Structure 1
Amino acid sequence: MSEPLTEDLLRELAPQVLGVLVRRFGDFELAEDAVQDALLAAATQWDTEGRPANPRGWLIQVAQRRMADAVRAEVARRRRESTVFAREVPGEASGRDDTLDLYFLCCHPELPPAGAVALTLRAVGGLRTGEIAAAFLVPEPTMAQRISRAKQKLASLPRPFADGATDRARLHAVLQVLYLIFTEGHTSTAGEGLRRADLSAEAIRLTRALHALLPTDSEVTGLLALLLLTDARRAARSGPHGELIPLAEQDRSRWDRAQITEGLRLLTATMPAGLTGPYQIQAAIAGLHGQASHVDDTDWPSVLALYTLLERRTPNPMITLNRAVATAMVHGPAAGLALTDTVAEALARSHRLAAVRGHLHEMAGDPAAAVADYQRAAQQTASTPERDYLLLRAAHLRTGERTQSGDPAARGRITTGG
């Protein structure tokens, strides 16, 4: 197998190196600066001087030296911490993956949950502030302030930090982060491509690692099942030119049956305790889609029942929007449209509300309203494939070319099973 490109290797190693620095030192801003310096040095030197035998250890040592230079200029407390850090770092170059540790560190119980998740997505997940803001449905400046406050709070806490793998609050936050990173990888909020394979693959890798640590935790298992069942459809979700293919039109022979089987096996293993967690429930919904050989075979009444249960357990406007789609498939588009009205204000910033309403108006035989909603959704999305798809549907309706369509929400984010 050929070696990965330098850029790909550095992207993979960056959070691990950051984990070594922050887990022992606790100063995010200083650690981030040191890691960036080390990455820049690697990008400059490796292509000309050759890649070192231990790239991860090389980056750690370079970053350590950058931090040491900065620490020496600070007060005695910093010099003492630098001594401890220098003593412990050599053992870290042995190959241990600290990325998961860093997730738990960022999700410290002293941080508000929203701040902890946002900080982890930015510092470890590599998501841009705008992408995180879109996931939380808040303005980008608001999210930037939230991340800044979380960094400042974390820097003020006593170090070293305790292990958080058994802390339920921290575990819940880590699961949410992994879920959101996968979601951004599954369907990017912006850009020319439909998905970011690096993000979704990393989320699955880390969720597998977390499952290996906590194999009997039903929500950890449920999240892994959900990610596998959803990722199994990736090959069928886009056409030869990168165009979006909605769930109803996908060639299901291209779905990864091995992943679907693994996901269903994991989900089944959680059943003795009942469907109690949101990731279990969403995995069950994804499992119903995965088991249907054709869109017409989908057990929509069960999908609706599961979304109703999910909404009861974790109220959220996006869940309500997904329930509206399932409601329309069971009780008709008028019932689904009425339900979307209840989240119109909460989802005013999201293009998914208009996209779903466009589909439901199309189902109801109101092409003019559907065209208006599809055009509105196209204006709101920053994703080129989604925008093109929405405009194409509007154009078809304007010219009378009505096409078959399944679950419109399923064409997008992980929460809809796309």
Structure 2
Amino acid sequence: MPRGLKALFTPRAVAVIGASRSPGKVGHAVLRNLLYGCGERAPDRSWGFPGRIVPVNPHAEEILGLPVTPYLEKLEGPIDLAVLAIPAAQVPEALDAVGRRGAQAAIVLAAGTAQLGQEGRRLEEQLVSVARNTGTRVIGPNCTGLFTRLEGEHLLSASFFSKVPPPGPIALIAQSGAIAQALLHAAADHDLGLRHIVTLGEKVDVQDAELLRYLARDPEVKVIGLHVESLDDPRGFHATAREVSARKPLVVLHGGRTAAGMRAARGYEGLFGTCDASLEGALGAAGVHQVATLGEFMPALQALSEQPAAAGRRVAIVSNGGGTAVLAADAVSNAGLDVVPFRRHTIERLAQLRGRDTRNPLDLRGDASA
């Protein structure tokens, strides 16, 4: 199991650094989500995180009914996961403090350090150094957190997500918090069940590949969706994707596939990796399902989560028109599948039923009934 990832998904105690009394602040939304599972639900802890929650804020004694620890130096008892809802400049020192108190994992929500120019680069280097020295695994910065289902109906929403989808077998990893929010809303609106959703942001520590391996081991996960804009190790990622897709369907939504897209990704996320056409070809050869738009992403995940895996590459097409049959045959062939002739016994049986053309694609024509 990748080091420290268990604390991200199954912590016993969570500290919120920068917890706030103000409903408009990120630190308030994160604390509320931890308590109740989702900010839009009525206060009910039967849905929320069942373990110990420790808000940290020097200017409050109580927030949402929880006693507040004023300073990190005053933290009592072990902390497995820390959520840092504080400005980027304060992150390295806070991460060092929670790491020295045993936090195995941390989620850094602060707007990207790499977007702040030379000073931001310095902060990012400090953050990486602290993570290595303390052994604390870091998600982010510039992310919206994570959501995962625990035992029973309990949720761990160490995030400021505003909706909760129904339970289900889909796991999502998204580099962009905005993409994650859009996917979460789409899942909730269309009753599509999710088990995990993780946002990675600038990925200074935890990377896509190790999360893929971790989620692929979850027996409740049937399909994994990944949104990615940059990769620090494309070759290593390809090897992991091949390994994972051999066990469970993997759907990848690429961002930054063009020069303009890569420039935009660097501007928003502060990243300098690549996710270009050569990687797309390698992933296709590895059996990874690739989509180009959000509109394709969720339907692909839904289909793969609800349908058994195909036993082979042979496809039969049934259509109610010749034109649509031709388009379907093109699409199937372009996907690397085979539109093969029907076997003799199938042809004989179809001839008894229809008395006319029995080729594949099978055109039932416009007068066919449902």
TM-score (norm 2): 0.31
Q: Between Structure 1 and Structure 2, whose CA radius of gyration is higher? A: 2
More strand per residue:
2
More helix per residue:
1
